[in-house]
Amino acid sequence: MTLKNANILAIDDDPDVLTAVRLLLKTEAADVVTEKNPENMRSILGKRSFDLILLDMNFNSSINTGNEGLFWLRKIKEFGSSAAVIMITAYGDIDLAVRSLKEGAADFVVKPWHNERLITTIKEALKRNDSKKSGYENPADSVIGSELLGESEIMRDIFFKVQKIAPTDANILILGENGTGKDLIAKAIHQHSLRAEKPYIKVDVGALTETLFESELFGHKKGAFTDAREDRIGRFESGNGGTLFLDEIGNISLHQQAKLLSVLQNRQVTRLGANQSVPIDIRLICATNVPLTELANETRFRKDLIYRINTVEIVVPPLRKREDDIVLLAKHFDRIYTNKYMKPLHDFDSKAIEKLKSYHFPGNVRELQYTIERAVIMAEGDVLQPKDLIFSPIESAAPKTDEPQDLDLKLSTIEKNAILKVIEKHSGNISKAAKELGLTRTALYRRLSKYDI
């Protein structure tokens, strides 16, 4: 189905949106029908069929579910329509829009849209819908690359979100524990953005002192301070036209926050020691291991800055909540390090896999990576055994010892006692105990069996 032959239905309670769609598509499509009231949809779809439906996510109608778009998306399926559905949304509803993809929507567009992008999105949705009807549906393009991996449901949600927000210029805030791969997600967003060919600049702002913060980000003129022996442009200017990734932004001071906010509001920087401002054009991505609830405390972080950097947020889960990804990542790291150290690729003994799955990985993906690297170096055979997998005593915050077996025994005792305490606290309720321990029910049951509890 080509756009020229397509019959399109647009449903939105904003007459300006409907007018814009009608004017844009009247020379592109075979026919365009617009409707303000989604409750008339059954009647419209009963009279004729459509190849594609543009559906708003929010309506001021008698249906008040808080997510009317999802309600009417389900109704379209109930009415028996085979039309591809593209959701129309605003930045604030992107999480709902991503959810709509899982419920059968073909795609979504963010208001206000670029006309060329909307037309491209419609053409691709029509093409995919044709392939689906023919039984030859091609998988959607993925942001999963050689480094950013995951098969778990929670990671697929993140990949969906990255794929949809990357082409926009929305500022992104990535939240997650250390070692979860926030920097990889930032890089994936840049690589799939319209700025992919432009600079990608990363700065660990949490490690910068007050003076270095301004000099590093905004640049300085010769003589602006001691040791400023020459002019230097800052990271904002270096990243002009591209993406600036500010890592550990939750650790900067209120004074530094004020400086950063001023630059983001005015879209220009002034080098230290200079009087003239320089305009900047960057797409901003920030990351922190500080929970959003703590960032919301104004004694620690300015709310006006949070709103400025957090058009869309992505919460990266810890590895203990991605149990389905542990073996996938372990085998990925084995490929990397067997190649690096010129060793044969390993198989994983079933008990080694069980050991990986039952460990809670306080150091997340980074700890798994180092665990596999050590195993590749030390393993003597071509099959990794449980004894080859030695988890970091640093991450476990356990006392150092020269005897690994004693360390393992102490950690086992600590873990067993913790499990007993939490289960007793919740009167034997496994679901509540697993939630507090940060485990899945399956992982907790394995530990109960391991410790004969």
Supply the pLDDT for residue 66.
Answer: 52
Do 218 and 297 lie in a common domain?
A: yes
Q: Which of 260, 286, 315 is the last residue of a domain?
A: 315
Q: How many CB atoms lie within 10 A of CB 294?
A: 11
Supply the pLDDT for residue 406.
Answer: 42
Q: Does 103 map to a domain?
A: yes
Supply 66's token pair. 């808080």
Q: Does 452 map to a domain?
A: yes
Do 168 and 289 lie in a common domain?
A: yes
Q: Does 146 map to a domain?
A: no
Do 201 and 99 lie in a common domain?
A: no
Do 94 and 212 lie in a common domain?
A: no
Q: Does 142 map to a domain?
A: no
**What does the pLDDT profile of the chain (453 residues) look like in tens digits?**
789 999 999 999 999 999 999 999 999 999 999 999 999 999 999 889 999 999 998 886 555 555 788 889 999 988 888 899 999 987 666 777 777 887 888 888 888 888 888 998 899 889 888 877 655 443 334 455 556 788 888 898 898 888 889 988 899 999 999 999 999 999 999 998 889 999 999 999 988 887 789 889 998 888 777 777 888 889 999 999 999 999 999 999 999 999 999 999 999 999 988 888 999 999 999 999 998 888 888 888 999 999 899 888 999 999 999 989 999 999 989 988 988 888 888 999 999 999 999 999 999 999 999 999 999 999 988 899 999 999 877 665 444 334 444 444 456 677 777 888 877 777 777 888 888 887 777 777 777 777 767
Do 443 and 304 lie in a common domain?
A: no
Number of domains forming the structure of the chain:
4
Q: Does 253 map to a domain?
A: yes
Q: Does 139 map to a domain?
A: no
Q: What's the gap between Cα 107 and its chain centre?
A: 18
Q: Which CATH number is 12's domain given?
A: 3.40.50.2300
Supply 56's token pair. 């708003």
Supply the pLDDT for residue 281.
Answer: 94
Do 290 and 324 lie in a common domain?
A: no
Residue 313 near residue 272 (C-beta atoms within 8 A): no
Do 169 and 271 lie in a common domain?
A: yes
Do 159 and 229 lie in a common domain?
A: yes
- Strands 52-56 and 268-269: what pairing? unpaired
Supply the pLDDT for residue 142.
Answer: 47
Supply the pLDDT for residue 396.
Answer: 55
Do 179 and 298 lie in a common domain?
A: yes
Do 121 and 21 lie in a common domain?
A: yes
Q: Which of 257, 281, 315 is the last residue of a domain?
A: 315
Q: Which of 285, 315, 345 is the last residue of a domain?
A: 315
Q: Does 140 map to a domain?
A: no
Q: Which CATH number is 300's domain given?
A: 3.40.50.300
Q: Which CATH number is 383's domain given?
A: 1.10.8.60
Do 84 and 188 lie in a common domain?
A: no
Residue 305: burial class (beta carbons within 10 Å; 0-12, 13-18, 19+): buried
Boundaries of domain holding 20: 3-134
Q: Does 364 map to a domain?
A: yes
Q: Which CATH number is 412's domain given?
A: 1.10.10.60
Supply the pLDDT for residue 452.
Answer: 66
Do 95 and 237 lie in a common domain?
A: no
What's the CA gap between 272 and 352, in Å, rounded? 55
